[in-house]
Structure 1
Amino acid sequence: MTWHQDGRLHYALGIEDTFVPQTRPGERALDEYELTEHYARVHEDLGLAAGVGAELLRWGIPWYRISPELGRWDWDWLDRAIARFSEVGVRPVIDLLHYGTPLWLDGEFAHPDFPARFAEYAVAVAERYADTVTDYTPVNEPMIHAEFCGELAYWPPYLSGEAGVVRMVAALADGFARAQHGIAEVLGERAVFVHVESTTRLAGDLEGEHRERVELLRERRYVVEDLVTGRVRDGHPLLGHLQSQGMSDALLERLASTPVRPDVMGVNYYPQHSTRLFRDGEHFRGGFVDPAPTRNDGVEGLVDVLTTYEDRYGAPVALTETCVEGGVQERIAWMDASVAAIEELRAAGRQVVAYTWWPLFDMYEWTYRHASGPRAESRLPMGLYDLVESPDGLERRRNPVADAFARHAGRR
């Protein structure tokens, strides 16, 4: 029996692990491990996670760094990091893809070999660490990947429109499924797969010009998970749309006939950002209203996404990311309220198996990629530890949010 089957609520943390290494004029590389100095401080950082009572740590591999050239692997840093997990007694849940592809993969997710190359990488990792690592998230937030890379032209390969987003959906679903099948062949029944999706909630009652578009978006937010779990077949509301936008019948049939399913369905929920409010008369930019108003639905929104995903996919659910941006007391208040909501769900018989505060220490806004100032201007105060500039680099300074997390984790 593994952690998701033992009936307890497990407390987890995450270290922000977005990697978009490609550059072009006006856009610099975004590597959160580099920005937060995690590469140099991984030994210390994993100790911090253990020190506040985390049992699990969502933690990503920088694919572009361990695969600097096609066919060449550089395992040195990763070997030391994985060994440290065992030393501190924290169980890693490995993010294989948290947005970035290697620099040698021209066209990134649009490259025809992306699914096969991604699966090769996944299997290489699973084989190397088969004795110590069993828990994997093949693709973190695949719909954010698809929208940012395929619809909004915000990240490479800078596609736009519905055909672009469907092209990304097809590539990501194909790579996702191949990677999970490959890992399962290596690890067998020991493998634990935590699927993780962003949970964009689309609120508002529309009767006018955008109603059909919003209904499409409401269905589309599930589409990658629906594809990999074999749900997209005759009768699925998006089947015809995917076909009309270029997704091949052969891929649709392969995904439907050889599904991969989550042992745990993870949902990422940020009360300040996860609910978008659509109104008649607003102007659309790609899939979103411009500007995109949000509404803070607090624990009501959290309960909605946890129960919706549990019911839809028939698997235990985990809150795999949550926090609020703001002061220490605001963060503690949200932690207390969200933990209480999950305990109520569990008392009512819902299978919520993990609570994840994201991140362990502060992170840097994704807009850093398009900015020109120093990293300090992009810092987001979200963690249990503040990142403080010092002559020796970024000091990790514990704040009271860490005490609140330790208090909750100690009650398990």
Structure 2
Amino acid sequence: MATSFLTAIKKHFGDGHYPGDEYGGAGGTVGSGLPSGSPGNFMFATGIECSYPTIDHGRTRRDLLAECDHYNRYQEDLGLVREMGLKVLRYGLPYYRIQRGPNDYDWEFADLAMAEMQRLGITPILDLMHFGVPDWLGNFQNPELPVHFAHYCGAVAERYPWVRYYTPVNEIYVSAKLSAMDGLWNEQLRDERAFVTALKNLVAASIMGNQQIALHRPDCVIVQSESAEYTHELRTERTPRIQLDNKLRFLALDLLYAHHPDGEVARFVRDNGLTDKEYDWFMAGEPPGYQIMGNDYYGRNERIILPYGDVITSMDVMGWYHITYEYFRRYSKPVMHTETNTFDAADAPVWLWKQWVNVLQMRKSGVPVLGFTWYSLIDKVDWNIGLSRKEGTVNACGLFDLNRKPRPVAEAYRQLLQEYGQITIVPHGELFEQTTRSATLKVEI
């Protein structure tokens, strides 16, 4: 019988645990254990709900940081983040309270919260505009918004130079749609031209804010949180408006990332006030820094329209993976699952695991996924009606309830972190760690 190569190896090197294995190979790790915060770590996160749109035609401000008592319990809330074993937090400073006027800032609460995050070793992804603006700026129809917001972003980056990760404007498409097309927030209009105005002002604000952040942090990482939407129309004869809406969901990112939109969409925005000069300005190039495409997904993001017009929530027919992969093919950006939850506390652990399966599937497809976020840390209020009225209904979607007691999903998330907490951003990702080098210009080749 021929001698096996194993005989020769064992004779010269022994029976396993060979010298050198500690640098990889059989001595490697599967990535289990709580997140370590190393540069190559996948970014497991939660977020603190911070929406602050106005309703009642500007008379009422919905400030979820206040309604969920975060201003009084911020130390306790940030302590819960650390207790969960999480290193990353999507965190929204209350923009409308900080920028009191041009070059006039009130940093009192922001300084306290940011100092506590720094003390606890939490990495914030700072959310600088979340569905609202200061009263003195009016609403998203104001063409001065990009200028004043850019100054604010620069002031934040200068005041907190240790922060690297930012979401300048959260969910641009949703902000514009609910404020100017659906009539729920802020300007409360129902008009296509108002929608385009809001959207272009918000994208411009994001771009100019990004520019000011990059002046202070050339290595900034911009995590653009945007809703992953889709409507299934179950009719043999399609409705033109619904088909257009399935294209408009890309519009905010098209303008942000200098991607020429579909011809029908280009005609729609020009018919509704986007000038050729404005269009050329958006198409000149994408913003500076490292750009991450964050996609938010809730079951209610995906809808089915039945033959007679009834609308039902489809809950994961395509799911985060299939919808986000569509966005990835369009923009070729690394992705992050930036928001998810469900309002049923009993179903939340299953929803968490289903979303994680989507993330794993995306990784298997070879797409770089930066991180995952359960949103939010504590329960929300009135999101079942889109904050359109002050009813005080508690949405049981948090890792913790409003008394800061854990919900079942908190234990499920801990299990997920224990199993996967030290995986790399991409498989074999030791080659692709996040560095502190300044970003360089990206061009198509």
- Partner in structure 2 of residue 295 of structure 1: 314
5 Å-filtered alignment, 1:135-214, equals 135-188=165-218, 190-208=219-237, 211-214=239-242
- Partner in structure 1 of residue 324 of structure 2: 306
2:159 pairs with 123, 128, 132, which one?
Answer: 128
8 Å contact from structure 2 (residues 228, 323) kept in 1: yes
SS of aligned partner of 1:195: strand
- Partner in structure 2 of residue 391 of structure 1: none
8 Å contact from structure 1 (residues 21, 64) kept in 2: no
Runs of 4+ off more than 6 Å: none
What's the CA shift string for 1:320-374, capped at 9, x where partnerless? 001111133x11111122213322332342212211001111011144855455x
Give the Cα separation in 1 of the matches to 2:143 and 2:180: 15
Structure 2 residue 118 is the aligned partner of structure 1 residue 118: no
Classify 1:257/1:4 alpha carbon distance in 2 versus 1 (closer, same or farther; 3 Å): farther
Q: Supply the AA of the counterpart residue of 1:381.
A: A
Give the Cα separation in 2 of the matches to 1:167 and 1:280: 33
- Partner in structure 1 of residue 30 of structure 2: none
1:58 pairs with 90, 104, 109, which one?
Answer: 90
Q: Supply the AA of the counterpart residue of 1:249.
A: D
- Partner in structure 2 of residue 385 of structure 1: 400
- Partner in structure 2 of residue 229 of structure 1: 257
- Partner in structure 2 of residue 109 of structure 1: 140
Give the Cα separation in 1 of the matches to 2:211 and 2:200: 17
Q: Supply the AA of the counterpart residue of 1:193.
A: I
1:191 deviation in Å? 0.4
Classify 1:4/1:99 alpha carbon distance in 2 versus 1 (closer, same or farther; 3 Å): farther
SS of aligned partner of 1:68: strand
8 Å contact from structure 1 (residues 30, 368) kept in 2: no
- Partner in structure 2 of residue 91 of structure 1: 123
Give the Cα separation in 2 of the matches to 1:24 and 1:227: 28
What's the CA shift string for 1:58-115, capped at 9, x where partnerless? 1101111112334311111101111111111111001111111001113x11112111
Give the Cα separation in 1 of the matches to 2:76 and 2:358: 32
1:318 deviation in Å? 0.7
Give the Cα separation in 2 of the matches to 1:5 and 1:308: 30
SS of aligned partner of 1:396: coil
What's the TM-score, normalizing by structure 1? 0.87
Give the Cα separation in 1 of the matches to 2:266 and 2:38: 34
8 Å contact from structure 1 (residues 7, 353) kept in 2: no
Give the Cα separation in 2 of the matches to 1:302 and 1:45: 28
What's the CA shift string for 1:28-78, capped at 9, x where partnerless? 321000001101111111110111011211110111111233431111110
Question: Could you list the runs of 5+ residues in structure 2 that have no partner in the other structure?
Answer: 1-35, 422-445
Question: Could you list the runs of 5+ residues in structure 1 that have no partner in the other structure?
Answer: 283-290, 388-394
1:309 deviation in Å? 2.1
| Count of residues in Structure 1 that have an aligned counterpart in Structure 2 | 383
Q: Tell which structure's C-alpha radius of gyration is larger.
A: 2
Classify 1:278/1:206 alpha carbon distance in 2 versus 1 (closer, same or farther; 3 Å): same
SS of aligned partner of 2:313: coil
Structure 2 residue 274 is the aligned partner of structure 1 residue 247: yes
- Partner in structure 1 of residue 79 of structure 2: 47
User: Alignment RMSD, CA only?
Assistant: 2.3
1:178 deviation in Å? 1.0
Give the Cα separation in 1 of the matches to 2:378 and 2:89: 13
Classify 1:77/1:372 alpha carbon distance in 2 versus 1 (closer, same or farther; 3 Å): closer
1:82 pairs with 95, 114, 118, which one?
Answer: 114
- Partner in structure 2 of residue 35 of structure 1: 67
Deviates more, 1:360-369 or 1:306-315: 360-369
Give the Cα separation in 2 of the matches to 1:98 and 1:23: 18
8 Å contact from structure 1 (residues 4, 264) kept in 2: no
- Partner in structure 1 of residue 44 of structure 2: 11
Give the Cα separation in 1 of the matches to 2:200 and 2:49: 26
Give the Cα separation in 2 of the matches to 1:205 and 1:65: 45
SS of aligned partner of 1:110: coil
1:205 deviation in Å? 4.2
- Partner in structure 2 of residue 285 of structure 1: none
8 Å contact from structure 1 (residues 28, 369) kept in 2: no
What's the TM-score, normalizing by structure 2? 0.81
1:406 deviation in Å? 1.5
Q: Supply the AA of the counterpart residue of 2:316.
A: D
SS of aligned partner of 1:267: strand
8 Å contact from structure 1 (residues 320, 354) kept in 2: yes
Give the Cα separation in 1 of the matches to 2:38 and 2:184: 39
What's the CA shift string for 1:124-182, capped at 9, x where partnerless? 1111111x111111111111111111111111212222112111111111111111112
Give the Cα separation in 2 of the matches to 1:5 and 1:248: 46
Deviates more, 1:222-231 or 1:337-346: 337-346
8 Å contact from structure 2 (residues 141, 194) kept in 1: no
1:327 pairs with 335, 345, 361, which one?
Answer: 345
